[in-house]
Amino acid sequence: MGSCTKCGNPNVIIKRKASGQALCKDCFIESIEKKVKQTIKKENFLEKGDKVLVALSGGKDSVVTLEILNSYVERHIIELCAVTIDEGIAGYREEGVEIAKAHAERLGIPHKVVSFKESFGIDLDEIMKTEGHRGSCTYCGVFRRWIINRAAREFGATKIATGHNLDDETQAILMNYLEGNMENLAKIGPKTESNSEMFTVKIKPLREIPEKEIGLYALAKGLDIHLAGCPYAQESFRMEISNILKDLSKDHPTIMYSTLRGFDKIRPALRQELAHDYEYDRCERCGEPSSNRLCRACTFLEELGK
Partner 1 sequence: MSFTLKIKDQVEERAIDGDLTIKDLLDDLDLSSETMVSKKNGEIVIEEETIEDGDEIEFIQIIYGG
Binding site for partner 1 (CB under 8 A): 1, 11-15, 22, 25, 60, 137, 211-212, 215-216, 218-220, 227-230, 232-234, 236, 239, 242, 246, 249-250
The b-or-e profile of 202-229 (16+ CB within 10 A means b, else e) is bbbbbbbbbbebbbbbbebbebebbeee
Residue type (1 letter), 293: R
Least spacing, CB of residue 243 vs partner 1, in Å: 9
Least spacing, CB of residue 30 vs partner 1, in Å: 15
Nearer to partner 1, 14 or 283 (CB): 14
CA atoms within 13 A on the CB side of 66: 33
Nearer to partner 1, 79 or 211 (CB): 211
CA atoms within 13 A on the CB side of 300: 24
Nearer to partner 1, 150 or 212 (CB): 212
Per-residue DSSP letter, 289: E
Least spacing, CB of residue 31 vs partner 1, in Å: 15
Q: Are strands 289-290 and 281-282 parallel, antiparallel or unpaired?
A: antiparallel
Nearer to partner 1, 149 or 171 (CB): 171
Least spacing, CB of residue 115 vs partner 1, in Å: 21
> Which residues lie closer than 8 Å to 274 by C-beta, 6 or more apart?
182, 183, 185, 186
Least spacing, CB of residue 216 vs partner 1, in Å: 6
Query: Measured between alpha carbons, how far is 95 from 228 in angstroms, rounded to an integer?
Result: 9
SS3 15: strand
Least spacing, CB of residue 304 vs partner 1, in Å: 22
Nearer to partner 1, 90 or 233 (CB): 233
Nearer to partner 1, 134 or 306 (CB): 134
